[in-house]
Amino acid sequence: MPKALPEIVDAYKQEGKYLTGKWIGKPVKTKESYRHIRGKGAFADDVQLHRMVYMALLRSPYSHAKILNIDTSKAKEHPGVLLVLTGDDIKKIMRRPFPQPTTPPARNAVDYPLAVGKARFQGEPVAMVIAEDRYSAEDALDDIEVEYDPLPALVDGERALEPDAPLVHDEVGNNVMAHVHYKWGDVDHYFEVADRIVEAKFHYHRFSSTPLEPNVAVADYDERLDIMTIYCNNQAPMEFLPQLAAGLGMPFPKLRVVTRDMGGGFGNKLANWPYIVLAAMASKILGRPVKWVETRTEHLQSATHGAERICYVKAAVTTDGEVLAVKMRCIDDDGAYARHEPAGITVWAQVVPGLYKIKALENDYYAVFTNKCPAAPNRGFSRAPHLFMIERMMDRIARELDIDPVELRLKNLVPPEEMPYETPNGCIYDSGDWPEGLKKALEAANYWEWRERQEEYRKQGKLIGIGVAVGTDSAGPNMGQVRMYNPRLPYSGGTEGALVQITPDGKARVTLGSSPQGVSHETTAAQVVAEVLEMDYDDVYVQTGFDSFTSIYTMHSGTYGSRFAPLGIPAVYIAAARLREKIIKIVAHSLGCKEEDVVLDDGQAYCKQNPEKKTNYRRIARIAYGNIPELPPGMEPGLYSIAIFRPPFTHPNDHNMANLALTYSFNAHVVVLEIDPETALPNILEYVVVDDSGRIINPLVVEGQVHGAAFLGFSAALYEEYKYDEDGNLVNSSFMDYLVPYATETPAFKVIHMETPSPFTPVGAKGMGEGGGTSIQAVINAVEDAVAHLGITLEKSHIDPDTLLRMIREARGEEV
Amino acid sequence: MSQQTFHIRVNVNGRWYEADVEPRMLLIDFLRDVLGFTGPHIGCDTGHCGACTVILDGRNVKSCMVLAVQVDGARILTVEGLEQDGQLHPLQEAFWENHALQCGYCTPGMLMSAYFLLKRNPDPTEDDIRKAIEGNLCRCTGYVNIVKAIKSAARKMSTRKQ
């Protein structure tokens, strides 16, 4: 039975006792916006410290080259320059390179924040300059002379596995970052009994969603207190604190990492820590604060890119359209270093069968090194590319079987009566009515009408394409999935922390373990606290960002993996609920009634029997902090509440089975577009999204996330792609040629909401910010649908007008 | 460092400031690092993102494309100058109410381009609005709520005038 066993469901079940709907579900204007609309956002680059100096980096123009010599003597003489360091200097200071997450031999790769011996991707830093001001630091870079011996570049993930391919890391001996072979369910049986095997190759292209704010670090070493304070925009400071501690030789209690407002992240700011380590080392050497701000060109060329994925997919299907099993052989091109990857070869396992009842899946999977920018997450990390393979495959199967792609999906979607649903690898899809969601989207986009008219349009020479895709944002990850490529990693479970305090003036103070990047955690956390503690939203003050000296954290803390709603919000809820219970005890004692008769209402409290006799949070707090004899006997003074939410996640077992994410939101995208037959330029005629993210805490925030996820996918499919030439030069490293759409190119997305609460979180909210990448698959399905009758198929997740025009002309037998 | 400097006098948000600047200093660096107006942001190095947009003598400009020495004697309005006597500008109110921002990094530039649009065209169509913010990139919102907010502000401003 695919329906999950009741004992598993019971173990995950959560209830929210204190939900009234007073604040949760309301379109409350966000706390964060009030700063931003007045130009008062607190971004890392806004930090100005006394005696602050600036760091600039000299980067390798070659993608792969031996570094024969670096002459820094002239740069050191440049006016204003305080310090110049090369990779060899850093190697001496750090003593050992960054710890590698991989298993041998990939583990032998040597990774320092400045290249040592050779450069492995274009833009890899080889030397750094610290100067009194930014302009002088950049000037001095020109005075550094580096002698390179260029080596053949490896720019193709498939080529990386060939025995004669150039070696990115000589110490590794091959280019394999990780290799796994997963088999869930009786794949061979289904391939034997299937009526038909459908095969395809797909290529998830290299792009990143490029937050508008580049990476920034300000490191401030205080010699008197021996404390290193880092202001930065890393999305998960606790992930890199071990690297920072190792690099500086300092213990955690001496390292204060602070994030405040962050100008977007999308996963791209998870692996900026090598730069933070450099700034911190320089600050320690100079005894002065050091600021580093990445330029846009540096960001696009050398920060991190979303991994590129190539998959050979085979599906075992029946003639009437049942998809039984899938076999895959995939390669992730993860670039030059394992700085967050190869996690991507396991993270997709949260969504093994996509949204379908596929019974078995096998994947022989490689992650490889190449001479390209290191890969790290991008919105929809690893699951979006996998859902791309599945959703594109569904369209191919439909075409081969001559079934409408929507009918095929409706036939195979997990039905609501089988929720919570256990996938072949042990993940639990928590709730949802997916067929209904898809139908709603089709109706809103007039799907059947467009299908009918499509043929007519074709006769008139018009190319109309209709693309449909469904997706899920698997959210609140069980980090233990990394043990599926390295079973020794001491990193598992999925947790988040929060502190809720009623301060002595009766207001609420909240700190979070997350590092938000524009996702309104201050607002939604305040709504939950206001609701549970029955107080005014304006009286709840949530600390902006993360501070390792004040935030309650675990090693999983941060903002990634759509984890705030499923993990962070429950921590806030539980902390507030515990505090509520303590407050009720104090009120009962103080007003002389039973606890169950205490009523909390709008920051005030009274006993049911005597509503006239009221107390309030300020008076309760005075007792708790200062007038201790009036507390119930034996009660600990103070009104602090710390909670760390722990779902009952386990390690993956010997068969790589485990529940890998806590909640599964749903979305369906329907895109109708027209391709100009002369220019191949796309024009979006209709774009509808149905979204079900469980219980909505704030509709403004949820809708904003749906818009954003749809936009970034649309943009990746039609505009954004990193293009490398055969020598490993990135040929589009600025906004001049790495195209990101303006308002004039962007369609108006229509959004329809459904609300199926998650049984696994106390508020019922699900993670949803990443959106599962559904728009990419929907847009590509639409483009392919527009030209499929010409015999054209699309392999990639990106299509530009030049390429498409060439395909159209070739298909029509015209000269290209 | 150690280059010749020029003395400039600039009015920002109604107040005059004087400073000695290097001829190569960009206006955005002058506003942020010298005067402390950190509302305008830097999001690119090619003049494409518009996060640094300010109003210079009545026109919207990308302040990364202007040198500080060029603005000697000029009047500049940054996002910090939109609020008057503690009252939010209708555009600011509309951006807040319509959730026209998420990370807030593009917002200061976006607001100034919208401000310039409504000065010229108090009743813009959706197309006018999209064209007016064509020089401003946003990565978070898909522009949906930005367009909605500008429309709503235009409506409110014309009602208030009547």
Residue A33 C-alpha, separation from nearest chain B C-alpha, in angstroms: 6
The rounded distance, in Å, linking the Cα atoms of A815 and A805 is 11
The rounded distance, in Å, linking the Cα atoms of A697 and A528 is 8
Domain boundary among B32, B47, B80: B80
What's the residue count for chain A? 816
Q: Amino acid letter at A103?
A: T
Nearest CA among A77, A83, A477 for reference residue A283:
A83
Domain of B46 in residue numbering reads as 6-80
User: What is the token pair recorded at A715?
Assistant: 């943009």
What residues pair up with B115 in beta bridges, in sequence order? none
**A430-473+665-721+737-816: same fold as A6-32+495-645?**
yes
What residues pair up with A511 in beta bridges, in sequence order? A499
What residues pair up with A311 in beta bridges, in sequence order? A202, A330
B148: contact with A, CB 8 A cutoff: no
Residue of A nearest to B42 (CA): A213
Interface with A, mutate which of B22, B67, B85, B99 (most A CBs under 10 A): B99
DSSP E strands in A627-681: the ranges are: 640-645, 661-664, 666-675
B62: contact with A, CB 8 A cutoff: no
The residue assigned the tokens 């190539």 is A310
3-state secondary structure of A150: strand
Interchain pair A520, B102: CB under 8 A: yes
Residue B67 resides in a domain: yes
B88: contact with A, CB 8 A cutoff: yes
Q: Between A40, A264, A705, which is nearest B105 by CB?
A: A264
* Cβ neighbours, 10 Å, residue A30: 26
First to last CA, chain B: 54
First to last CA, chain A: 54
What share of chain A has pLDDT > 70, as a percent? 100
Q: Per residue in A82-117, pLDDT tens?
A: 999 999 999 999 989 999 999 999 999 999 999 999
Residue A236 C-alpha, separation from nearest chain B C-alpha, in angstroms: 16
Answer yes or no: are the C-beta atoms of A114 and A278 closer than 8 Å. yes
In the sheet that B75-77 helps form, which strands lie side by side, from edge to edge? B15-21, B6-12, B75-77, B53-56, B59-62
Answer yes or no: are the C-beta atoms of A797 and A410 closer than 8 Å. no
B20: contact with A, CB 8 A cutoff: no
Render the burial of A220-243: b for 16+ CB within 10 Å, e for the rest.
bbeeeeeebbbbbbbbbbbbbbeb
Nearest CA among A445, A451, A439 for reference residue A687:
A445
3-state secondary structure of A128: strand
Distances in Å between the Cα of A543 and the Cα atoms of A7, A511, A700 are: 38, 5, 21
- Count of A–B CB contacts within 8 Å? 190
User: What is the token pair recorded at A526?
Assistant: 């305040």
Domain boundary among B80, B102, B129: B80
Answer yes or no: are the C-beta atoms of A416 and A664 closer than 8 Å. no
User: At a CB cut-off of 8 Å and minimum separation 6, what does B150 contact?
Assistant: B91, B94, B100, B114, B117, B118, B124, B129, B132, B133
Over range B84-93, report the average pLDDT.
96
Q: Per residue in A669-719, pLDDT tens?
A: 999 999 999 999 999 999 999 999 999 999 999 999 999 999 999 999 999
Residue B117 resides in a domain: yes
Determine phi and psi for A774, rounding to 5 degrees: -60, -30
Class for the domain spanning A6-32+495-645: alpha beta
Which helix (H) or strand (E) element contains residue A692? strand A682-692
Interchain pair B45, A734: CB under 8 A: yes
Answer yes or no: are the C-beta atoms of A530 and A536 closer than 8 Å. yes
B145: contact with A, CB 8 A cutoff: yes
Interchain pair A211, B82: CB under 8 A: no
Answer yes or no: are the C-beta atoms of A515 and A259 closer than 8 Å. yes
A37 vs B contacts (CB less than 8 Å): 79, 88, 92, 95-96, 101, 104, 107, 111
Residue B85 resides in a domain: no
Answer yes or no: are the C-beta atoms of A55 and A141 closer than 8 Å. no
Answer yes or no: are the C-beta atoms of A713 and A671 closer than 8 Å. no
A138: contact with B, CB 8 A cutoff: no
User: What is the token pair recorded at A347?
Assistant: 């993270």
User: What is the token pair recorded at A325?
Assistant: 């099993």
A737: contact with B, CB 8 A cutoff: no
User: What is the token pair recorded at A143?
Assistant: 């005075």
For chain B, how many structural domains are there in total?
Answer: 2
The rounded distance, in Å, linking the Cα atoms of B137 and B143 is 9
Nearest CA among A667, A770, A563 for reference residue A355:
A667
Nearest CA among A154, A125, A151, A480 for reference residue A301:
A125
Answer yes or no: are the C-beta atoms of A712 and B139 closer than 8 Å. yes
B40: contact with A, CB 8 A cutoff: yes
- Which DSSP category does A160 fall into? G
Answer yes or no: are the C-beta atoms of A476 and A536 closer than 8 Å. no
Answer yes or no: are the C-beta atoms of B102 and A671 closer than 8 Å. no
Which helix (H) or strand (E) element contains residue B29? helix B27-29
Q: Is the pLDDT of residue A543 over 50?
A: yes
The rounded distance, in Å, linking the Cα atoms of A84 and A152 is 29
Q: What is the pLDDT of residue B1?
A: 47
The rounded distance, in Å, linking the Cα atoms of A545 and A564 is 13
DSSP E strands in A617-660: the ranges are: 640-645
**Chain A window 714-733: which residues touch B at a Cβ cutoff of 8 Å?**
714
A697: contact with B, CB 8 A cutoff: no
Kindly state whether residues B76 and B54 are assigned to the same domain: yes
Interchain pair A209, B139: CB under 8 A: yes
Over range A555-560, report the average pLDDT.
97
Nearest CA among B121, B139, B112, B9 for reference residue A742:
B139
Interchain pair A296, B49: CB under 8 A: yes
Which helix (H) or strand (E) element contains residue A704? helix A699-718
Q: Per residue in A561-581, pLDDT tens?
A: 999 999 999 999 999 999 999
What are the extents of the domains in chain A?
A: 6-32+495-645, 44-151+209-302, 430-473+665-721+737-816
Which helix (H) or strand (E) element contains residue A448? helix A447-459
Kindly state whether residues B25 and B76 are assigned to the same domain: yes
Kindly state whether residues B76 and B10 are assigned to the same domain: yes
A519: contact with B, CB 8 A cutoff: yes
Which helix (H) or strand (E) element contains residue B150? helix B144-161
**Chain A window 213-252: which residues touch B at a Cβ cutoff of 8 Å?**
213-214
Answer yes or no: are the C-beta atoms of A217 and A283 closer than 8 Å. no
Residue B159 C-alpha, separation from nearest chain A C-alpha, in angstroms: 22
Interchain pair B105, A211: CB under 8 A: yes
A77: contact with B, CB 8 A cutoff: no
Residue A531 C-alpha, separation from nearest chain B C-alpha, in angstroms: 21
User: What is the token pair recorded at A444?
Assistant: 């809103």
Q: Per residue in B21-78, pLDDT tens?
A: 999 999 999 999 999 999 999 999 999 999 999 999 999 999 999 999 999 999 999 9
A40 vs B contacts (CB less than 8 Å): 39, 80
Over range A587-606, report the average pLDDT.
97
Determine phi and psi for B105, rounding to 5 degrees: -75, -35
Distances in Å between the Cα of A21 and the Cα atoms of A529, A695, B5 are: 12, 11, 61
User: At a CB cut-off of 8 Å and minimum separation 6, what does A726 contact?
Assistant: A153, A155
User: What is the token pair recorded at A423?
Assistant: 């996938």
The rounded distance, in Å, linking the Cα atoms of A537 and A784 is 49
Nearest CA among A664, A733, A653, A763 for reference residue A182:
A653
Q: What is the pLDDT of residue B2?
A: 52
User: What is the token pair recorded at A125?
Assistant: 């830093």
User: What is the token pair recorded at A557?
Assistant: 């803390």
Mean pLDDT value across chain A:
97
Q: Per residue in A228-248, pLDDT tens?
A: 999 999 999 999 999 899 889
Kindly state whether residues B114 and B156 are assigned to the same domain: yes
B88 vs A contacts (CB less than 8 Å): 37-38
Q: Per residue in B121-149, pLDDT tens?
A: 999 999 999 999 999 999 999 999 999 99
User: What is the token pair recorded at B14?
Assistant: 């109604």
Q: What is the pLDDT of residue A243?
A: 87
Domain boundary among B35, B62, B80: B80
B111: contact with A, CB 8 A cutoff: yes
Interchain pair A734, B99: CB under 8 A: no
Residue A677, preceding peptide bond in cis (omega within 30° of 0): no
Answer yes or no: are the C-beta atoms of A508 and A533 closer than 8 Å. yes
Kindly state whether residues B76 and B94 are assigned to the same domain: no
Residue A772 C-alpha, separation from nearest chain B C-alpha, in angstroms: 15
B94: contact with A, CB 8 A cutoff: no
Q: Between B45, B140, B147, which is nearest A518 by CB?
A: B140
Is residue B75 exposed (0-12), middle (13-18) or buried (19+ Cβ within 10 Å)? middle
Q: Between A27, A703, A743, which is nearest B143 by CB?
A: A743
Residue B73 C-alpha, separation from nearest chain A C-alpha, in angstroms: 24
Which helix (H) or strand (E) element contains residue A688? strand A682-692
Q: Between A27, A37, A262, which is nearest B95 by CB?
A: A37
ipTM of the complex: 0.98
CATH code, domain carrying B36 = 3.10.20.30
Q: What is the CATH code for A430-473+665-721+737-816?
A: 3.30.365.10
The rounded distance, in Å, linking the Cα atoms of B25 and B10 is 14
Residue A21 C-alpha, separation from nearest chain B C-alpha, in angstroms: 20
Q: Is the pLDDT of residue A175 over 80?
A: yes
Q: Pairing mode, if any, of strands A640-645 and A661-664?
A: unpaired
User: What is the token pair recorded at A208?
Assistant: 């990143």
Answer yes or no: are the C-beta atoms of A329 and A312 closer than 8 Å. yes
Kindly state whether residues B69 and B111 are assigned to the same domain: no
Task: Give the torsion sign (CA, A271, A272, A273, A275).
Answer: positive
Kindly state whether residues B38 and B64 are assigned to the same domain: yes
Answer yes or no: are the C-beta atoms of A317 and A323 closer than 8 Å. yes
Q: Per residue in A421-474, pLDDT tens?
A: 999 999 999 999 999 999 999 999 999 999 999 999 999 999 999 999 999 999
Kindly state whether residues B75 and B96 are assigned to the same domain: no
Homologous superfamily of A44-151+209-302: Aldehyde oxidase/xanthine dehydrogenase, a/b hammerhead (3.90.1170.50)
Residue of A nearest to B102 (CA): A518
Q: Between A30, A136, A211, which is nearest B139 by CB?
A: A211
Interchain pair B107, A700: CB under 8 A: no
A195: contact with B, CB 8 A cutoff: no
CATH code, domain carrying B108 = 1.10.150.120
- Which DSSP category does A374 fall into? P
Residue B1 resides in a domain: no
Residue of B nearest to A735 (CA): B48
Kindly state whether residues B17 and B59 are assigned to the same domain: yes
Helices A774-787, A699-718: crossing angle, 10 deg rounding: 40
Residue of B nearest to A517 (CA): B103
Kindly state whether residues B15 and B66 are assigned to the same domain: yes
Nearest CA among B80, B71, B76 for reference residue B19:
B71
3-state secondary structure of A664: strand
- Which DSSP category does A269 fall into? T
Q: Per residue in A626-637, pLDDT tens?
A: 999 999 999 999
Q: Between B41, B46, B104, which is nearest A734 by CB?
A: B46
